[in-house]
Amino acid sequence: MSPKIIYKVPLRAIFKEYGELIYWRIRKLQEKKLGNDHYAYFYTEHFDLTPDFYRGKNILDLGCGPRGSLEWADMTESRIGLDPLAEDYLKLGAHAHKMTYIKGYGENMPFDKEQFDLVCSFNNLDHVNNLKQTCIEIDRVLKPGGLFLLIVDIHAKPTTTEPQTLAWNLISVYFPQYKILEEKHLERSVKNKIYTNSRKSKPVSNEKIQSGVLKVKLQKV
């Protein structure tokens, strides 16, 4: 287990976060209320888990966004969303959600060693500022035997809000010691719809294709 990391937020992160906040403000104007009904499925059935699996567990959603991703999880011991924009999300309606929002970065999580039974990263890992440090931190805060659930876009070209260019070998590079319970390499059949692609897309026809969606369930051993 790696020691706690001292992390200095890079200046470019300010521009990235501003872009992400503008996106969510626009979504709020369009939708009036940011919904979260789809999350229960992705935490449970999508990964062959049941709601009862979460009973009494401590859950972390990394890069949670403002929708209330853990609103459904009344059976947990704790349900925490970590996000650099957490305080801004409260102003978008997240203050009404039945989960705890904490402002922070994946590279330097404000949590104890082995605090969580499950860590989730949905549509987030390509948004972080330092991929290696974030993966080290995920390992630090996850209990032995705990699960890491990942849904992330694979792409070769960085953007302002998605600076990390991820490849299909992400797990073997950053989580080689973990047990792979499920790993799927899926096509990006619908633009900008990561959840739709994770749920409905076919496996990629050729691993040389540098774009798609990676869906993984890992266990820390």
CA–CA separation, 197 vs 153, rounded Å? Answer: 10
Query: Running along the chain, 221 residues long, what does each successive block of 10 average in pLDDT?
Result: 61 90 96 96 98 98 98 98 97 96 97 98 96 97 98 92 94 98 96 94 91 97 96
Q: Which pLDDT does position 2 carry in this prediction? A: 45
Q: Which pLDDT does position 213 carry in this prediction? A: 97
For the chain, domain boundaries: 12-219
Q: Report CA-CA distances (Å) from 34 to 59, 86, 93, 159, 205.
A: 21, 15, 8, 24, 35
Q: Which pLDDT does position 5 carry in this prediction? A: 55
Q: Which pLDDT does position 1 carry in this prediction? A: 42
Q: Which pLDDT does position 4 carry in this prediction? A: 52
Helical spans, DSSP H, in the chain: 12-31, 39-43, 86-91, 131-141, 170-174, 194-200
Both structure tokens of 134: 């974030």
Would you say 219 and 143 are in contact if contact means Cβ atoms under 8 Å apart? no
Burial class (CB in 10 A: 0-12, 13-18, 19+), 3: exposed
CATH class of 12-219: alpha beta
CA–CA separation, 213 vs 209, rounded Å? Answer: 11
Q: Report CA-CA distances (Å) from 54 to 50, 64, 84.
A: 8, 18, 25
